[in-house]
Amino acid sequence: MVAQGDHAPFTLALGIGAAGQRVAEALHARAGWFPRIRRIGLTREEDGRGGYRVISTEAGVLAAQLAGVADCASLAVVDDTVFSGATMRALVEALPGAARRRTRAFCLRGVAESIATVAALCPITAGVAAPGRRLDDVSFINASGLVRRVAIRRAGLPPLAFFERPEWIRAWFPTAHAEVLTLCNRLNALIEPPRP
């Protein structure tokens, strides 16, 4: 990402969740772009009807988390992954119009078609832009999401780990899905307490 061009330090970087904050911190340590980072609690959640919605993970609404951004001379929006693009688009769309025009987005990796939907709102720099159709050709799997119940958020229900969607594991690991499921179950039992 750093090799794609230098940037003057941004007045404020908005890191989407803990992952976006970590990426902003790592990029700042390497390139000095983000001297001020604010974590924005925003995530995608299954709506129970086969779709998703973007929700705030903080007590306040998104607008409250964005207090003061209209006064920033330059603004960065940072996340680790742009998969559907829903969370990054929701954040950029929530910015006041003048602030949005001074905004640049960053992600370590993303699906090219989803990155394009963010680029329609503001410039975006992606470390890796994977070509292909989301879910059909491209998927991203975090190792922690395989075994920890943080990867799949659901409205009104506890979150799930990827291994709790065995059909996804079969699609991702067609020749080794049984072994992967067994290993994920064992690892989960070691790192998370059993559910009541």
The domain defined by 2-130 folds into Rossmann fold (3.40.50)
Q: What tokens does 52 get?
A: 């998703």
Question: Which residue carries 């992600």 as its tokens?
Answer: 107
Write down the pLDDT at residue 114. Answer: 94
pLDDT-based confidence at 192, cuts 50/70/90? confident
Partners of 55 in the beta sheet?
A: 43
| Domain map (residue ranges) of the chain | 2-130, 143-191
Q: What is the pTM of this model?
A: 0.88
Is the CB of residue 126 less than 8 Å from the CB of residue 97? no
More confident residue, 25 or 47: 25
CA 59 to chain centroid, in Å, comes to: 19
pLDDT in tens, 4-40: 889 999 999 999 999 999 999 999 999 999 999 999 9
**Percent of the chain clearing pLDDT 70 (strictly above):** 99
pLDDT in tens, 48-100: 888 899 999 887 788 899 999 999 999 999 999 999 999 999 999 999 989 99
